[in-house]
Amino acid sequence: MNDFFGIYSPFIEHCGIVAVEREPGIARARVELTPPLLNAAGNGHGGLLMTLFDVTLAAAARGTRPHATGVATVDLNVSFLEPANGMLDCEGRVLRAGSSLVFCEGEIRNATGELVAKAMGTFKLMAPRAAGQITSD
CATH number of 79's domain: 3.10.129.10
The residues, ordered by sequence, that sit 6+ positions from 86 with a Cβ below 8 Å of its Cβ are 32, 33, 110, 111
pLDDT band at 1 (very low <50, low <70, confident <90, very high): very low
Which of 53-62, 65-74, 111-120 shows the lowest per-residue confidence on average (mean pLDDT)? 65-74
Confidence check: pLDDT of 135 > 90? no
In this predicted model, what pLDDT tens digit does every residue of 14-65 receive, in sequence order? 999 999 999 999 999 999 999 999 999 999 999 999 999 999 999 999 989 8
In a domain, 1, yes or no: no
pLDDT band at 100 (very low <50, low <70, confident <90, very high): very high
pLDDT at 41: 96
Residue 122 Ramachandran class (φ > 0 left, ψ -120 to 50 alpha, else beta): beta
In a domain, 28, yes or no: yes
| Residue 76 structural domain | 10-126
In a domain, 2, yes or no: no
The number of folded domains in the chain is 1
In a domain, 133, yes or no: no
| Mean local confidence (pLDDT), 113-117 | 98
Burial of 88 (0-12, 13-18, 19+ CB in 10 A): buried
25 vs 7: CA distance, rounded Å: 17
In this predicted model, what pLDDT tens digit does every residue of 76-93 receive, in sequence order? 999 999 999 999 999 999
| CA dihedral for 28, 32, 35, 38, sign (positive or negative) | positive
7 vs 70: CA distance, rounded Å: 9
How far from 55 is each of 100, 130, 131, CA to CA, in Å? 18, 26, 27
pLDDT at 129: 62
pLDDT at 66: 73
